[in-house]
């Protein structure tokens, strides 16, 4: 991975903001979908597709590519936007989100779009899928790494914890999970629905190397991934603390935006905020 220079950070900030703008436009056009999670994960996806991942948009099935598995598929607008800006398909196609016969379904469907590694929808399954890919890499003596993006809310699912235990027991060190710790889910705040803490200690007790970061800091995202790469005796998990609805003031930290799109008027207001801020997003919550 190349060094993260100040110039590169600025470019990543600008790209993340373009992705956020596209998320708003996609959701408003579709009239359905999830707003808070995709906006909150825009920096993480930007860091991965434009700096971290070993991948080739012109050869999506390159055998030696890194694999990124999105378990919480409902935040797919951010992945679709990242893939489009990375060159996997045209940015114009983003406006077809959730439309009849669109390749951009409400949850990712492997085979519909280049760059998608799995079909996701049922929460709690992505880590198991990623474990299978990581084990395959070990059996085939391949050097690629597997990344599993998880939501905090899906940690209510029992099968996810079976996967956590399996990966720890089998020391799957070419696997890195990243948790979007935004503290909301569709019915409210995670602490009210089903408290998850102490999350770090839980993972550690199952044999994982745990890192906690600000999920909006490109430096911290990249440093955490680099540290995970040199842990050879256990899997790693990055708990990325993010702000749901990041960049749009009336959406930030409001769980009601977990599963709804903006109206035309709300989209205009959101886009005005994002375009005023440009690449540099600040928040009163930081």
pLDDT, one tens digit per residue, over 212-238 is 999 999 999 999 999 999 999 999 999
In sequence order, which residues have a C-beta less than 8 Å from that of residue 26 and are 6 or more positions away? 33, 77, 80, 81, 94, 95, 97, 104
> Where would I find the H helices in the chain?
6-30, 36-40, 42-47, 76-86, 126-139, 158-169, 190-193, 199-205, 218-229, 264-277
Quote the pLDDT of residue 283.
44
Question: Which residues 6+ apart lie within 8 Å of 225 measured at CB?
Answer: 1, 52, 176, 238
**pLDDT at res. 274:** 96
Number of residues that make up the chain:
286
Percent of the chain with pLDDT over 90: 94
Q: Is the peptide bond before 133 cis (omega within 30 degrees of 0)?
A: no
Return the pLDDT at 3. 87
CATH architecture of 6-277: 3-Layer(aba) Sandwich (3.40)
Which pLDDT value is given to residue 286? 44
| Pairwise pLDDT comparison (121 vs 95), residue with the higher score | 95
Q: Find the helix packing angle between 6-30 and 264-277, rounded to 10°.
A: 170
What's residue 172's pLDDT?
98
285 has a pLDDT exceeding 90 = no
pLDDT at residue number 284: 41
At 99, is the secondary structure helix, strand, or coil? coil
In this predicted structure, what is the pLDDT of residue 279? Answer: 55
Provide the percentage of residues in the chain whose pLDDT is more than 70. 97
Tens digit of each residue's pLDDT (9 = 90 or more) over 188-197:
999 999 999 9
**pLDDT for residue 257 is more than 80:** yes
pLDDT beyond 80 at 150: yes
């Amino acid at each position: 991975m190349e060094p993260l220079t100040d110039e590169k950070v600025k470019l990543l900030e600008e790209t993340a903001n373009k992705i956020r703008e596209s998320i708003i436009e996609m959701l408003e056009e579709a009239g359905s979908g999830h707003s808070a999670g995709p906006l909150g994960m825009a920096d993480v996806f930007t860091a991965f597709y434009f700096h971290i991942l070993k991948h080739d948009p012109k050869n999506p099935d390159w055998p030696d590519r890194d694999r990124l598995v999105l378990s919480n598929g409902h935040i797919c607008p951010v992945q679709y936007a990242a893939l489009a800006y990375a060159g996997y398909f045209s940015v114009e196609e983003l406006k077809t989100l959730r439309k009849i016969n669109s390749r951009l379904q409400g949850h990712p469907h492997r085979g519909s779009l280049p760059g998608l590694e799995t079909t996701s929808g049922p929460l709690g399954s992505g880590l198991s899928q990623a474990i299978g890919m990581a084990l395959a890499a070990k059996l085939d003596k391949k050097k690629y790494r597997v990344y599993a993006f998880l939501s905090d809310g899906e940690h209510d699912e029992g099968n996810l914890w079976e996967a956590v235990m399996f990966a720890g027991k089998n020391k799957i060190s070419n696997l890195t999970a990243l948790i979007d710790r935004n503290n909301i889910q569709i019915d409210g705040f995670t602490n009210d629905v089903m408290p998850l803490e102490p999350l770090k200690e839980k993972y550690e007790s199952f044999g994982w190397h745990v890192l906690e970061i600000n999920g909006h800091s490109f430096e911290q995202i990249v440093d955490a991934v680099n540290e995970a790469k040199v842990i050879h005796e256990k899997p790693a998990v990055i708990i990325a603390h993010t702000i749901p609805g990041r960049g749009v003031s009336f959406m930030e930290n409001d769980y009601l935006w977990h599963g709804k799109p903006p109206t035309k008027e709300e989209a205009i207001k959101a886009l005005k905020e994002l375009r005023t801020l440009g690449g540099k997003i600040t928040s009163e919550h930081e």
